[in-house]
């Protein structure tokens, strides 16, 4: 898997084209979420990045997240199938597919528009300050993982 630059317009176009292939009837190849829940799950990452969803982690949790989870989330290797989901990202109630899809499109476009300068050194609630590349990796890997889960 090649990790594409989230802040590049060609990446935005590719991601949005993949998003358009999803339908309300899309079925996962693995995992428990339906397609609406998966889109809502992807939106959580953006809600947290933009400070719209707050997560409080204690000192021990922060240490563990930075030491063990951060390299997996922002690094260059793809996620493994059926990886563990952090509690803040759990989506178990039914979600409106069209609404979640529209929200995700807006977040993807908003992130590209803000660009690398906006994200360079920006604080992550879970991992502390991240580089623009780490933010980009995190966003792209997460989307790619779940779009692959649903065959797009």
Query: Is residue 1 domain-resident?
Result: no
As a whole number of Å, the end-to-end CA separation of the chain is 14
DSSP string, 72-87: HHHSSSPPPTT----G
Question: pLDDT tens digits, residue range 60-86?
Answer: 888 899 999 999 999 999 888 878 888
Buried b (16+ CB within 10 A) or exposed e, 24-47: eebeeeebebbbbbbbbbbbbbbb
Range of the domain at 50: 9-149
Question: pLDDT tens digits, residue range 112-146?
Answer: 999 999 999 999 989 999 999 999 999 999 999 99
Query: Is residue 61 domain-resident?
Result: yes
User: How many independent structural domains does the chain possess?
Assistant: 1
The model's pTM is 0.93
C-alpha–C-alpha distance, residues 135 and 1, integer Å? 17
Query: Is residue 141 domain-resident?
Result: yes
Query: Is residue 27 domain-resident?
Result: yes
């Amino acid at each position: 898997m090649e990790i594409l630059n989230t802040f590049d317009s060609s990446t935005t176009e590719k991601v949005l084209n993949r998003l358009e292939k999803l339908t309300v009837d899309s079925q996962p190849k693995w995992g428990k979420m339906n397609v609406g829940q998966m889109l809502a799950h992807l939106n959580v990452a953006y809600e947290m990045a933009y400070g719209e969803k707050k997560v409080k982690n204690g000192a021990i949790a922060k240490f563990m997240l930075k030491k063990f989870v951060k390299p997996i989330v922002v690094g260059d290797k793809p996620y493994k199938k059926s990886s563990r989901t952090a509690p803040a990202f759990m989506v178990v109630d039914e979600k409106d597919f069209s609404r979640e899809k529209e929200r995700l499109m807006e977040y993807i476009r908003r992130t590209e528009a803000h660009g690398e300068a906006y994200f360079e050194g920006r604080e992550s609630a879970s991992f502390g300050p991240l580089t623009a590349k780490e933010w980009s990796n995190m966003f792209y890997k997460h989307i790619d993982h779940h779009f692959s889960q649903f065959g797009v």
